[in-house]
Structure 1
């Protein structure tokens, strides 16, 4: 039966096949390219079937008469269409969309779209806290929300708060490009804004972007910006008629005090996790708490790459929260130990908990390595960690990509740069174009008035450099050795050269991880220590996050090279959770470690909160006991530890500020008012303890001020912080012996004993066991800094001062920049105290401090590119006024500029031509600027007549 069914089945198949072959045999088109006529009138094509009719044809008639079927169209449901910046739903001006496109941004990521669509965000009704990995695009979300808000309400303002000066400078450049050419209707602007000279600046369009940061020379006020980009650091900037405060916290204080705060609509707090920073975190907390207490329509946006307790932060800020782990460029992480490279995230290697993986798994080979770094034949690379760092860095450059090497100290940073440069190709082996770029970079470094760092001079031609950020206030940094070094001009040149590919390897200290945007294909960690301590999980994530950037590299790589003694701790670190972010006013804060009992801890908190309380009272944000309690109930500390604890601390803090004479009750009521001293401390933006010290010093100066010399003035201008320096007492002694009679009188008036300096120079130690001894030591260190300031004040170059006092050039430059701001604060302090004569005397010398030159050069120093040393060369060449330079053409100024340049590197004749070309361009800028200044001076004289 089965065989019969099979036969019947076979026969039917054969019959069907035979019939089909017979029908197709005459017109076979197998293997031929088939073309169909495009003319719809072709008679060989069947007419279209009427609607609703289904026609069937036999197979034998297919070639001649069967109508062709059409495949269904596929509609692309492109989510990316809604991700275009020009999508109607986003309602962005076409000029803004074009500006973003010119910067390489045409679309947003899906997570950015979802985040922006959060409840009430686009309308500004809801605050936002969000977290995204480094390089994930979190800044764009804040930029779009901020721009939409100020464009929707012309005349309003936004503040962007960043932790470092370098980030402020970078962000200002970025935002000015973003808002270029935006022209909202003039009638929608307030009348005073239409007349503002800042508003008419063509390079900024209508939306004015101004940076406020320490050491800057921007003369702008609250009324002169639409977007203010600020640091957390305490910096003072000069106004035309007075001195104002220019950090974010002080700007907000000023706006609250003069009732202009209603114009503020948006505040962006970048690196929100720094709210628990021991030294500056309280400023972030103060800013946010004030904004929450204002009951104004200010939208707060806090962002970070690491916020493990984001819900708490969102609750504190009454914000919508959003978190993503999306990275447009993947990162491959590795651990390097004993010359073996292990994949840190592979299932067969290190992707286990530290309880499952120990150092034995690696040392005994149970964790299979991916690669082996061979031992070096050079004894200089006998250290396996150094050998790994050098080999991995060289491997990256051989493929044409850049790498960042993170070192834990200044010494290791310089050493790594030197060793890596030793294995790089010789300059003569490079292509001429690349060699010319490196020669130009070295030439620019040598032309700086501060001189060139000797290590950079050795390594730049090999495509290797190092980058060390100098904190603006070194006094609050515990690792000054790790950060001090390069000047700001050197850091800018190095960063630009690395970004352009002229420099391929940049060795940096750990602080760079969050200090500037320098992405790399490969990030190499020379051990996991910063100084003597292991870095934390947050810092590790920051450093790893520098690897890979959209448009820069298709993938990112990180290599953590560690030693045998650190292996167990490093494995623990790699798998450690990021600690929760809490208020910096907790009892574990390093500032208050000396307090152990609960009562002392409360006092320590009160001492830290004293400035916050004094500010609140001084700007009249809260003056009664209940209103003060209500204010501090909005602080992060209240959300993390409860209001009862905060209330106890407030009572201690109120007692403290009253006992210090900074505040008092009004007529026995529950209302508090600041004293004259309290107002002066807030106005000068210094801590209460520093304010008490300054008050004592200035009170003593009022009784006996040495006016027949400059040393006393310079001592008053010197910051009260000690910058973390180690005093070279022998240098101090030599400088003391060289002082004139007025300088020696200053020593006597401020309480410095020459005999004590002599003993210290012979090997003695400065005692600091009691409070009185600590205050005396503070005076000695401050005078040591004043001696350096005196040299800078008298046009001694920074690199000469650096060698003379055994300090890094970057630290000397930071001293110079900090003094400019501190001097402004001291003038404001004296004005608030009613010491008008002292304020006038200080104000007279402040211009010299700003210019870094003697009085005869002050007019020339107002011209761009003419500062200190260059101004002296112009003076000696006969150009002794702005008018003289304005009446000279650029070619006449060129020889003077060439003379002002330090020794240049000239290996080829074309380098001379390039140098002259650059100097001629600078001379044209100087000539044009001098003309503008001269015309302004002439117009001012005409107006006075």
Structure 2
């Protein structure tokens, strides 16, 4: 289909597409247009990676923008993917299309987004917007959900599922477009969403799947090609070397962060010999940028690998680390990236070859290694082949023996992806979503609640209504017992009938608005009621660390004894009774929360980032994730304490501010000035400037000296502190004891992973 023949889109779009090199649509895109995607029809598109799903979404959204009929919403699973997609859509702004992106601050209604034509947001953010009664949600005319197969994910799937059900109930005429990788039951998703289905295997370039064994690559069509492994060389290194000989890049998927880092170090010895002088120079610049992100061993190891043309990629990296790696890989500077499976979840990093080195990973539910799903492996394989750059893509699994060669063909190469299944009926998911459904007015009775649940994928996929009703009643009992909602029946004998009227209490509304798991709220409330007026920072950090909303650090070998001793030393700090050592499983979880709290306390005590990463065996991204989650949970604790009329609000606020900025108590006021951060605050404090009020009156020469002679930084800090005359023109920096000169120091690590000057986007962290 020629782009000029696309109906229902703005007049400028065909010329825009031609300027981007698109004269005609790919077959799946043409099928979507024929199915009515630009004319308001619901659509499920189940097509392979790199087959043009994003353009299908753009056609749908722009058809509404062109009509001026309302706002289009694009839902993504990851914050990183939200930024990437928003950057793509911002190309339309020169045509008068306003694009907004929102991923954090779950207490906000995001009213500033009401003027946007296209809004990009994570499913959690959209859910929070509905809970906070964002008025512009009622004006939605189109919603696109990317990676909709993630409804199968036990953590995030229920939120996406319930959010789509709510949006469709709020907006009966809403066009719903769902984009998915190839899955086994796309027809079920289409039935659930009352949608047309485009189910295609077409790709713009050929994808060859196979297994390497011995000295050859065995392909799915039965052919073989020689790919020799040299003496002392791993299979992975052999594939990377062979790909480099054809001027290609390689993505290597492994099953853990440690393996990703180790593999990148080893493969750097393979990639460095393939670099020319220009590439070495440019990679040295990227490596320097990586070192500037944070002063940690992880940052140093990554920079060393990148300088040699290799990299690792996992959730323990800072966001800026990941962005630098992705950009350099797309620019073909980095030749190989060793990644954990999260990279396959949507971020645009295609390569000539993909190697799935590890097809098993640790499964905590079984206590051992378990095979990855076919869908996960196919998602990884789909990253092979860069349209316009590669003549083909190859996806390779590695076999250790002939039996495994046969197994991998049967299990993954020739297999169809599994059907996706709703995970909504699990009690933890229903706890959160049932309270929110009542609090936001979607249901006011037990019968109404069950009627709403009939709109979900779970109801469409199962005939087990008794199970759903049973779990629902258990959750309602829990919510009522914890005073989050009230249930009233016409008589005691009708208590469990459909006539029960449901109403969220004031506390329940607060919990829903704060986006808390009700069990987290109950834990926090119980702890705060047990607290005195000035609970310690450690006590508060431990309280939020033991909630279901905080991912605790693992206990390593020897940690049990260390943290048990710490628990007895700091027993007076804890909010609520200390658990007994004889409650083995629960006590270990309690100690894991203590380890997490101690990390937060160290950060809020100005311990250096590299020392924290070494002490706890984490990466800079992990610190950022724990800090952001603690900020959010302590903010929620502050709101709950206010709702309950407790006297500990100031102590909670101080603990939250300390962990936000990574400072001791005396720096709280200074660190709160935008642009200051933990290290600058300490230097200003040591120079005798103790508060923001002091900043407004301080000798400019002293301020400039404390800020290492950085005039622009000093001007911004003074302006943000409210100084009337922030200019540093003609000011020479004073000598300030302990402060290095401009050339000698760096402010790179002002916040976790160098984020002190970035806008706060507190959230639950990355998927």
TM-score normalised over the length of structure 2: 0.82
Question: Partners in 2 of 1:834 and 1:91 — Cα distance?
Answer: 53
Residue 465, structure 1, aligned to residue 311, structure 2: yes
Residue 615, structure 1, aligned to residue 436, structure 2: yes
- DSSP-derived class of the 1:179 partner: helix
Structure-2 change in CA distance of 1:891 and 1:730 (3 Å): farther
Q: What pairs with 1:473-484 in structure 2 (closer than 5 Å)?
A: none
State the partner residue of 2:126. Answer: 248
State the partner residue of 2:694. Answer: none
Question: Partners in 1 of 2:149 and 2:129 — Cα distance?
Answer: 22
Contact 2:243-2:250 at 8 Å conserved across structures: yes
State the partner residue of 2:696. Answer: none
Contact 1:253-1:619 at 8 Å conserved across structures: yes
- Distance apart, 1:539 and its partner CA: 0.9
Residue 664, structure 1, aligned to residue 486, structure 2: yes
Structure-2 change in CA distance of 1:740 and 1:542 (3 Å): closer
- DSSP-derived class of the 2:356 partner: strand
Give 1:638's match in structure 2, choosing from 459, 463, 467.
459
State the partner residue of 1:489. Answer: 320
Structure-2 change in CA distance of 1:795 and 1:656 (3 Å): closer
State the partner residue of 1:157. Answer: 71
Question: Partners in 2 of 1:464 and 1:585 — Cα distance?
Answer: 40
Give 1:805's match in structure 2, choosing from 605, 616, 623.
616
Cα displacement string for residues 852-897 of structure 1 (whole angstroms, at most 9, x for unaligned residues) = 3456475566545x54335545775335742489413699899966
Report how many aligned residue pairs link the two structures. Answer: 699
- Distance apart, 1:801 and its partner CA: 0.8
Residue 888, structure 1, aligned to residue 728, structure 2: yes
Q: What pairs with 1:96-495 in structure 2 (closer than 5 Å)?
A: 105=22, 107-119=24-36, 121-124=37-40, 126-153=41-68, 156-176=70-90, 178-183=91-96, 207-213=98-104, 223=114, 225-233=116-124, 247-255=125-133, 260-344=136-220, 346=221, 349=222, 369-374=224-229, 376-378=230-232, 381=233, 387-426=234-273, 430-453=275-298, 454-468=300-314, 470=315, 485-495=316-326
State the partner residue of 2:365. Answer: none
Question: Partners in 2 of 1:563 and 1:139 — Cα distance?
Answer: 38
State the partner residue of 1:675. Answer: 505
State the partner residue of 1:706. Answer: 534
- DSSP-derived class of the 1:566 partner: helix
Residue 562, structure 1, aligned to residue 399, structure 2: yes
Contact 1:340-1:370 at 8 Å conserved across structures: yes
- DSSP-derived class of the 1:167 partner: helix
Q: What pairs with 1:11-26 in structure 2 (closer than 5 Å)?
A: none
Cα displacement string for residues 228-266 of structure 1 (whole angstroms, at most 9, x for unaligned residues) = 322245xxxxxxxxxxxxx221112223xx655322222
- DSSP-derived class of the 1:513 partner: helix
Question: Partners in 2 of 1:826 and 1:715 — Cα distance?
Answer: 12
- Distance apart, 1:139 and its partner CA: 1.5
Question: Partners in 2 of 1:726 and 1:643 — Cα distance?
Answer: 36
Question: Partners in 1 of 2:649 and 2:153 — Cα distance?
Answer: 35
- Distance apart, 1:458 and its partner CA: 3.3
Structure-2 change in CA distance of 1:837 and 1:295 (3 Å): same
Question: Partners in 2 of 1:88 and 1:135 — Cα distance?
Answer: 21
Q: What pairs with 1:809-888 in structure 2 (closer than 5 Å)?
A: 809-831=620-642, 833-835=643-645, 837-839=647-649, 841-843=651-653, 845-853=655-663, 856=667, 863=674, 867-870=677-680, 872=682, 877-879=705-707, 881-883=717-719, 886-888=726-728
Larger radius of gyration: 1
Structure-2 change in CA distance of 1:673 and 1:895 (3 Å): same
Contact 2:8-2:38 at 8 Å conserved across structures: no
Question: Partners in 2 of 1:418 and 1:578 — Cα distance?
Answer: 33
State the partner residue of 1:939. Answer: none
Cα displacement string for residues 300-346 of structure 1 (whole angstroms, at most 9, x for unaligned residues) = 211101232122211111112222222111112221112322122x2
Question: Partners in 2 of 1:88 and 1:314 — Cα distance?
Answer: 23
State the partner residue of 2:410. Answer: 572
Residue 520, structure 1, aligned to residue 351, structure 2: yes
- Distance apart, 1:673 and its partner CA: 0.9
Q: What pairs with 1:930-941 in structure 2 (closer than 5 Å)?
A: none
- DSSP-derived class of the 1:790 partner: helix
Contact 1:870-1:897 at 8 Å conserved across structures: no
Give 2:604's match in structure 1, choosing from 766, 778, 793.
793
Question: Partners in 2 of 1:607 and 1:514 — Cα distance?
Answer: 24
- DSSP-derived class of the 2:528 partner: helix
Cα displacement string for residues 615-645 of structure 1 (whole angstroms, at most 9, x for unaligned residues) = 2111111112332232122121221113743
Contact 1:861-1:868 at 8 Å conserved across structures: no
Structure-2 change in CA distance of 1:403 and 1:678 (3 Å): same
- DSSP-derived class of the 1:159 partner: strand
Structure-2 change in CA distance of 1:449 and 1:172 (3 Å): same
Residue 535, structure 1, aligned to residue 376, structure 2: no
Structure-2 change in CA distance of 1:542 and 1:892 (3 Å): farther
Can you give the 5+ residue segments of structure 1 that lack an aligned partner in the other structure? 1-78, 184-205, 234-246, 350-367, 382-386, 471-484, 587-604, 757-764, 905-921, 931-945
State the partner residue of 1:197. Answer: none
Question: Partners in 2 of 1:218 and 1:438 — Cα distance?
Answer: 42
- DSSP-derived class of the 2:706 partner: coil
Contact 1:159-1:267 at 8 Å conserved across structures: yes
- Distance apart, 1:809 and its partner CA: 3.2
Structure-2 change in CA distance of 1:898 and 1:153 (3 Å): farther
Question: Partners in 2 of 1:146 and 1:680 — Cα distance?
Answer: 34
Q: What pairs with 1:766-777 in structure 2 (closer than 5 Å)?
A: 767-768=583-584, 774=586, 776-777=587-588
State the partner residue of 1:780. Answer: 591
Contact 2:555-2:592 at 8 Å conserved across structures: yes
Structure-2 change in CA distance of 1:667 and 1:778 (3 Å): same
Question: Partners in 1 of 2:629 and 2:253 — Cα distance?
Answer: 27
Structure-2 change in CA distance of 1:91 and 1:330 (3 Å): same
Question: Partners in 1 of 2:356 and 2:487 — Cα distance?
Answer: 56
Cα displacement string for residues 10-33 of structure 1 (whole angstroms, at most 9, x for unaligned residues) = xxxxxxxxxxxxxxxxxxxxxxxx
Contact 1:128-1:301 at 8 Å conserved across structures: yes
Question: Partners in 1 of 2:384 and 2:225 — Cα distance?
Answer: 20
Give 2:448's match in structure 1, choosing from 604, 615, 627.
627
State the partner residue of 1:720. Answer: 547
Contact 2:534-2:648 at 8 Å conserved across structures: no
- DSSP-derived class of the 1:180 partner: helix
- Distance apart, 1:572 and its partner CA: 1.9
Contact 1:341-1:371 at 8 Å conserved across structures: yes
Can you give the 5+ residue segments of structure 2 that lack an aligned partner in the other structure? 363-368, 491-498, 688-704, 708-713, 734-738, 760-767
Contact 2:663-2:671 at 8 Å conserved across structures: no
TM-score normalised over the length of structure 1: 0.67
- DSSP-derived class of the 2:584 partner: coil
Cα displacement string for residues 385-421 of structure 1 (whole angstroms, at most 9, x for unaligned residues) = xx22101101212332211111122232222212222
Cα displacement string for residues 330-370 of structure 1 (whole angstroms, at most 9, x for unaligned residues) = 112221112322122x2xx2xxxxxxxxxxxxxxxxxx633
State the partner residue of 2:514. Answer: 684
Cα displacement string for residues 36-83 of structure 1 (whole angstroms, at most 9, x for unaligned residues) = xxxxxxxxxxxxxxxxxxxxxxxxxxxxxxxxxxxxxxxxxxx5xx22
